[in-house]
Structure 1
């Protein structure tokens, strides 16, 4: 039983939070209302913000639209034109977003069928994997339209530019390629280390993160700057000013300056989340999850606003004023402002929690007012896909 002193201290802290007005972390963010929004790229948009500002999504305890068993998911789903494109250990599976019925399946090879999260545009699905490299598929039936070969695996999902002028891919040998939507290779260049993440840098450039602990800014196949960071790059996201946020394995998070500042570190938060797959960049907040909870950092300073939960590790998906995250045994929805409190001592931060039993919730996507949750099976629970509305 907590002591009287501890109870009084906690109560006093929350009272102080209320009087201090600690409710403005999310004051600049409104609920979304557009129930027709897609999630057409691996991290929603070309800057990899994982934030659908105007979209609708479940803000109260959801109901289950469907739950189906599938091979284990390997990356985040993408949703476009009422179709869910889910990368799995059995290949890329296209599913009807209304009932989960399978439409088609593509596997690059029988030996290694897994693929990355795709990008969807103008009737084509662009996906990377072990073999042959980058592949364009027909949205309707999954037939191959064209390929760009690579001798090495492409573990990073494709990164489209603004307005889809081109897309970038990279492989384990450090080769970066710019490809037009019809399959023409415009340029190739090499960076140091296997490419883990790519994010478009304006209409004609790209940020590249590698396993060697480096971030590169490229333009027209040439290096603009190159910045060492303290660990393998696990996530990248860019803001409207072309600064880039970087998560590293074991080395915290950083904000690197774009433009004339040439990669200079604006801040380095050594206790920032590893963010194993992606950030969510929402208003003034930078969200990441790494197995130790969902963390919100202030985008200007890197200072941690709060950390909530214990076992959340998925790529978060933000919609309007709500951020969704999955982990061991559940998926949850939080207010982007974190409710009321000081630091991680908060109340009314959580909108709802949905239990998954022995399974875990994987990297999330939201479209058409529905939250799509890849299910990582454990023990007596099958892997698959869950749709909540």
Structure 2
């Protein structure tokens, strides 16, 4: 299989394609052979993105990379999927689940539903939770808008462990292993001790704090606000490291790799903040359209945009390597595992993200249609794909596929 760099050199910078991708497009290359399924061991103390081997937070890990153990590992189904179970959800289900240790944590308009990953049966439920939680070990951390408060529960029983009330409505949390839980509430961002809920530090920013800030390189959190600012703060004490003003409000939580933080805004542009040669400036920007579901980052590529087209962008240069039509739907986001990119839209797509390219788009491993739109999700965990899909004229389900 050619390396990503050899592939980039062969393809070069391609224009943004506007034709919806399909397996019959002339010139579309065949997908490469995916690696064998595996679950490599992780040392949480040395994992730069804060992974714990599960899809245990909004973006899979603390960096919001939406990648399970990297593109070239994992146990994702790559030859097609079968349905294991489905659970009916509201047509207003706009949040994707978190999946960890045999449980599915689904934030919904009716609160947090915790399901058995084996069969979809409901284990417990708590009202007031609309953002994705963080699951770490035996504890699930949530932002409860009904109190309002940040709360911690036992993952197996839903028994409350602690509660910290906030002056404003809290939004979705983030956490790097061994570091404080980071939660925004109004114009303040709070860092809490995950064992007790005690405040470690708190800082006021300009604008309302947006949910699920990513952790950059394990020591700083990149907090976005609806005023269009992204502030890089020390995880230890909240001291400001960098701040960038953007021309528009971010539409989804940023994602971070070791070199930069990536964010898509309402102006339809994806920005890279940082880079080795740029300090903490706007290293590049690309017109991608925007998405509510999030960005994905892996193997030197940033995957952005879900209204009409998904784009693969070189993380160093900002050059678009390929584009793929997914349909007119902003409630999906890419997920990566086992050398395969999964994304929803007009159907569930499984793409080979680092082969082929050009105007024809990436190779297609498989596609799976439902009655209507696909998303929120997909997310990956333990060899299964979880996604919300319209299954009938008036029905929507969370589906477990493998």
With normalisation by structure 1, the TM-score equals 0.84
- Contact preservation (8 Å) 2:275, 2:283: no
Point out where structure 2 has 5 or more consecutive residues left out of the alignment. Answer: 1-24, 42-52
The answer to whether structure 1 residue 237 and structure 2 residue 255 are counterparts is yes
Distance change (3 Å), C-alpha of 1:169 and 1:384: same
The alpha-carbon deviation at position 251 of structure 1 amounts to 4.4
Q: Which has the larger radius of gyration?
A: 1
The farther-off stretch of 207-216 and 359-368 is: 359-368
- Contact preservation (8 Å) 1:93, 1:102: yes
The alpha-carbon deviation at position 117 of structure 1 amounts to 0.6
- For this pair of structures, how many residues does the alignment match? 355
Higher normalized strand content (fraction of residues): 1
Give the secondary-structure state (helix, strand or coil) at the position aligned to 1:309: strand
CA offsets, 1:107-150, max 9 Å, x none?
13xxxxx4201111121111114232321111111122112222
Give the secondary-structure state (helix, strand or coil) at the position aligned to 1:154: coil
User: RCO greater where, 1 or 2, for CA within 8 Å and sep 6 or more?
Assistant: 2
Alignment correspondent of 1:187: 201
CA RMSD, 1 decimal: 2.6
The alpha-carbon deviation at position 206 of structure 1 amounts to 1.0
CA offsets, 1:88-120, max 9 Å, x none?
111111111111011111113xxxxx4201111
Give the secondary-structure state (helix, strand or coil) at the position aligned to 1:308: strand
CA offsets, 1:64-102, max 9 Å, x none?
011121334332211111111111111111111111011
The alpha-carbon deviation at position 272 of structure 1 amounts to 2.5
- Contact preservation (8 Å) 1:334, 1:351: yes
Point out where structure 1 has 5 or more consecutive residues left out of the alignment. Answer: 1-12, 109-113
Please give the alpha-carbon distance, in whole angstroms, between the structure 1 residues aligned to 2:35 and 2:297.
15
Q: 1:88 aligns with which of 108, 130, 133?
A: 108
Q: Where in structure 2 are the equivalents of 1:169-318 lying within 5 Å? A: 169-171=183-185, 173-182=186-195, 183-197=197-211, 198-219=213-234, 220-233=237-250, 234-241=252-259, 243-257=260-274, 262-269=279-286, 271-311=287-327, 312-313=329-330, 314-318=332-336
Please give the alpha-carbon distance, in whole angstroms, between the structure 2 residues aligned to 1:374 and 1:35.
28
Alignment correspondent of 2:384: 370
CA offsets, 1:288-343, max 9 Å, x none?
23312221111111111111114153121111211111124x21111112x4342x
Q: 2:122 aligns with which of 102, 115, 126?
A: 102
- Contact preservation (8 Å) 2:106, 2:114: yes
Distance change (3 Å), C-alpha of 1:164 and 1:260: farther
Query: After the TM superposition, which parts of structure 1 deviate over 6 Å for at least 4 consecutive aligned residues?
Result: none
